[in-house]
Amino acid sequence: MCRGTRRIIRERCSLEHKCAFFVSTSCFSWVILFLSISVAGCALMPQQQIADKPVIMPMAQPIGPARRVVQQLTAVWANRQESLLAVLELDAQHIAMSGLSNDGLSLFNLTYDGKTIVADKSPLLPASLNPEFFITDFQLVYWPFAELQKILPAKWRLEVAEKKRILYLEDQKQVEVDYLTPDPVWPKEVDLINFQYHYRLHIKTISYDPVP
């Protein structure tokens, strides 16, 4: 993770008790959540998917402009709800993402350069937690429709309706994105529902800053 991102994390963590950006949850709560996702996901996936890679949308290339984004992510899974803070740095060469618990503990760091994902996860998180899900969900929400169309293989299609994106694999709905506060530059509040792996993700952008 670059020096600028580390500085932002330190600054955000120092405001922990003054700022409503951090939700009342602990690293232990996230461990329980991710363990629940891993166990339930294995139970729901066909045996062939367990043996092979999970079926998810391919990853697109990083795109500009350069910007730094702070978001509150709230995940709902099997009647559980937990939140974390995500700090992102994006440009045409890479995507960098860091996840923090409310007390400033690092849950994961990952970077993607268009070819390879490098992930550094807390040892408390299960090895089965797949960093590709973070990237594909993020791109499905924020990448231009034309960029996503380029990388979809046969049998996949992406449809756009009013304030929505819906991803299909053959005729099965995989993911639906609802733009609660649409914005041509960067939607500020979004709901994502994954029908295949049965989770919901609420994304609220706290800050969006172009980087010179």
- Tens of pLDDT, residue by residue over 12-34, are 444 333 333 333 334 444 444 44
pLDDT score of 75: 87
pLDDT score of 38: 44
**CA atoms of 101 and 13, how far apart (whole Å):** 10
pTM above 0.85, yes or no: no
- Tens of pLDDT, residue by residue over 147-204, are 999 999 999 999 998 899 999 999 999 999 999 998 989 999 999 999 988 999 999 9
Confidence of residue 67 (pLDDT cuts 50, 70, 90): very high
> For residue 47, is pLDDT > 60?
no
CA 66, 139, 78: angle at the middle one, nearest 5? 130
- Tens of pLDDT, residue by residue over 79-125, are 788 888 999 999 999 999 999 887 788 889 999 999 999 998 887 76
Domains annotated on the chain, with CATH: 3-210 (2.50.20)
